[in-house]
Structure 1
Amino acid sequence: MSREISAKPTGRASSEARLGQTLVEDVSISCQDGTVLQGTLFTPQQGLIGAVLMGPATGIKRQFYSNFALYLAQHNYAVLTFDNRGIGGSLQGRVQYSEASLQCWGEQDMPAALDCLMTRFPETAYHLVGHSAGGQLIGLMHNAHHISSVFNVACSSGRLRNMRFPFVLSARFFMNMVIPLSNRLFGHTKAQWFGMGEPLPKGAAEQWRQWCNGQGYVKTAFGKTVHSHLYDELAMPALWVNAPDDFIANDANVADMISVFPKMRAETLTLRKEDYGLDEIGHMKFFSRKSEVLWRHATDWLDRWS
């Protein structure tokens, strides 16, 4: 029976619990620049098939993915969830002093989390389950070639121009008015006021704003702040999953993001809430415990490439 695990980040393995055949433990993750992140490791106690890195969406804490991670562990996949720097357990000090950016999440945090996963589970297949930004940023990971497959949920360029009326009005308001005004007034973006996860470090929010105003998301930073990346090289199989009631990761924005990976073997899957008896899937609800009926798509994909 799955339940959320509360993190208590005080050391490499600060707490652990056993839920059925799954060992759940908190871990610390060291990045190359010395930043320490907090994560939670879900380890099946028998029959390991592969290991999964859970790439979080912008401003979303790792506890949000606990039920999904337990589900994968019950299907014999080890899973590492983690908080990006400036978010949740990985926030050091006050958020207005955090220098975190989307770019350092991809260049520093995600590679360190993958290294941690590979160290704990050597000689197995490694996969990325990316939620929104967690799938967008894989091309910034210097070690992404170790990933055998990608399962992306609600992952797209988030390009404002491709969003439909009337949602585009609120999206433009948040991106182009709330973010700069909040950053100026508070030194960070109060995304939580708008139901968009944790308070965001100003650098992460501003980069988010810039990238969503352009074509190809992170592509807008190529040659500017991003001078080295693997977007042109990654060729692993990837399944991009979205839903018609997701007004951010609509079909046009999914296609826009896929275009940044010219060699990736991309497949797409559209999940309609009515086909599964759900009230909502949208941008966030795939990982809700109420949406467990959808999770077999993840295990089917992982089994295919493990």
Structure 2
Amino acid sequence: MSQAPEVVSFGSSQAPLVGKWHPAHGPQRAAMVVHGATGVPQRFYRHFAHWAAQQGIATLTYDYRDFGESLTGATRSSSARMADWAVADQDAAQHKLAELAPTGPLWVLGHSLGGLGIAFHRYPERVSRVITMGAGMTHYRDHPWHYLPKALAFWFLIGPAATGALGYLPGRRLGFGEDLPSGVYWQWRRWCTRRDFFARDIGKSLPQPNFNATEPPLELCVARDDDMVPPAAVRRYAAHFAPDRTQLRLFDPANYGLGTLGHVGCLGAGCEAAWQDLMFPDAAEARTGAA
């Protein structure tokens, strides 16, 4: 019989966060936090979290400030930025994970934006793995031709027009995921429309990064058919880290009998075979390759 997740609250009074704690079924191998992608609420990860718990990996999911279950007022009233989600909120979630699992190894899984805060965190020795899926320094020109019109509309036409008019990105109405605070959208737009990505925000909304850290081990994963954050963008991101620390892993949907993995769907229901490879790479070497 599966155990229902526990609702947990953490963060500050100015930025309260709501999460779900999925205890491990049976002996606990590790405890893991899932840092979500931009515009993807924690409820999307419930299937993955339940599966991980069944493998003995206690899992914490949560929503960033002013988003999903952590939203306490009107989205248009939020002052949140992408940097707040990638640094302060991720740091708060990692501290909560250590509190929920006071012993044993800790793992960090960052999906898209969830993997962009790595260099801005100082991980304790208990963090033995950092895994990213679809996290890269994406420039809009990285997208394949068939996806480019959607990206151009999001960054240069519909996205800025709607956000400017309404004071928030109406993602649900536009078919671009969930609604987002305007500060999150504008900073995200700046990163993805400049070749230096988030470099201009370092020393401002972002602290100084430590790309030279050698621990914990870093696994940068991407689906071969990810149009939103293509493998080239992940390789560009990986090049900033110490080479001895990083491993690039490319996931091909054909290896799992799937038509697609993509950017978001790779952590959605139905991709359990890929999750097995993602979490237990020692048994996956025959099915994954260099990104």
- TM, length-normalised to structure 1: 0.85
CA shift digits 1:245-279 (9 cap, x unpaired): 21122121011111233467221222222221112
CA shift digits 1:134-171 (9 cap, x unpaired): 01122233557653212211111121122222322321
* Distance across 2 between alignment mates of 1:144 and 1:254: 25
Matched, 1:202 2:167: no
How many residues matched? Answer: 284
* 1:173 corresponds to: 153
Equivalent residues of 1:238, 1:264 under 8 A apart: no
* 2:171 corresponds to: 191
Map 1:144-293 onto structure 2 (within 5 A): 147-215=127-195, 217-233=197-213, 235-262=215-242, 265-293=245-273
User: How well do the aligned residues superpose, as a CA RMSD in angstroms?
Assistant: 2.2
Matched, 1:96 2:76: yes
Moved more, 43-52 or 164-173: 164-173
Instruction: Return 5+ residue gaps in structure 2 as ranges.
Output: 285-291
Instruction: Return 5+ residue gaps in structure 1 as ranges.
Output: 1-18
Equivalent residues of 2:104, 2:126 under 8 A apart: no
* 1:26 corresponds to: 7
* Distance across 1 between alignment mates of 2:240 and 2:196: 6
Equivalent residues of 1:40, 1:82 under 8 A apart: yes
Matched, 1:55 2:40: no
* Distance across 2 between alignment mates of 1:41 and 1:201: 26
* 1:68 corresponds to: 48
* 1:8 corresponds to: none
* Distance across 2 between alignment mates of 1:178 and 1:237: 40
What amino acid is aligned across from residue 76 of structure 1 in structure 2? G
What amino acid is aligned across from residue 258 of structure 1 in structure 2? A
Moved more, 90-99 or 279-288: 279-288
* 1:141 corresponds to: 121
Three-state SS of the structure 2 residue aligned to 1:38 is strand
Equivalent residues of 1:142, 1:229 under 8 A apart: no
* Deviation for aligned residue 1:42: 0.4
